[in-house]
Amino acid sequence: MKLIRPLIFLWLGTMAPAIHAGGMAIDAGRTLAATCANCHGTDGHSVGGTESLAGVPRDTLLRKLAAFSRGEKPATIMHQIAKGYTPEQLTLIAEHFAAQRTHTGH
């Protein structure tokens, strides 16, 4: 798993010239955050029944996610899911949601 971080940087490194050339590299946080959409809505805009994550401050999200991972925050499912992501991935996810506007989708 130690390989992941250098790989991401390598990948981001390859993106820069491509963006310059008109390619469409997709933000790593955006693709990671998309794995949450099944329950929390596209880009964190929940349509109901779950917490909307769009626009929630990064540090608030990271605190909650860390508490889920450590089993300190009661949950039916999030304690199992949060453990599947590295701290670096959770940071990218939290940054993506924090950067979203808070409107409620379409």
Partner 1 sequence: MTNRRHFLAAMGAAALAGCAQLGKSARNAHVVVVGGGFGGAAAAKYLRLWSDGRVRVTLVERNAQFISCPMSNLVIGGAQTMAHITHDYSGLRDHHGVRVIQDTVTAIDPSARELRLASGERLHYDRLLLSPGIDFMPESIEGLAGHEDEIPHAWKAGPQTALLHRQLAAMPDGGVFAIHIPKAPFRCPPGPYERASLVADYCRRHKPRAKVLVLDANADIQSKKGLFLAAWGDRYQGMIEYRPNNQLLGVDARTRTAKLEFNDVKADVLNVIPPQRAGKVVDLIGSRLVNDRWVSVDWLSTEVSDVPNVHVIGDATLSAPRMPKSGTMANQQAKVAAAAILHLLADLPPNPSPVVMNTCYSYVGSDSAMHVASVHRFDTAEHTFLPVEGAGGLSAVASPAEATAAQAWAHNIWADTLN
Under DSSP, the state recorded for 97 is H
* For partner 1, the closer CB: 30 or 73: 30
CB 100 within 8 A of CB 37: no
Q: Take residue 68 and report the two structure tokens written for it.
A: 């889920």
CB 5 within 8 A of CB 88: yes
* For partner 1, the closer CB: 29 or 64: 29
* Residue 94 φ then ψ, to 5°: -65, -40
Q: Which residues 27-86 are close enough to bind partner 1 by CB under 8 A?
A: 27-32, 34-35, 37-42, 46-50, 58, 76-77, 80-85
Q: Rule CB under 8 A: which residues touch partner 1?
A: 1, 3-4, 7-8, 10-11, 14-15, 18-32, 34-35, 37-42, 46-50, 58, 76-77, 80-85, 89, 95-96, 98-99, 105-106
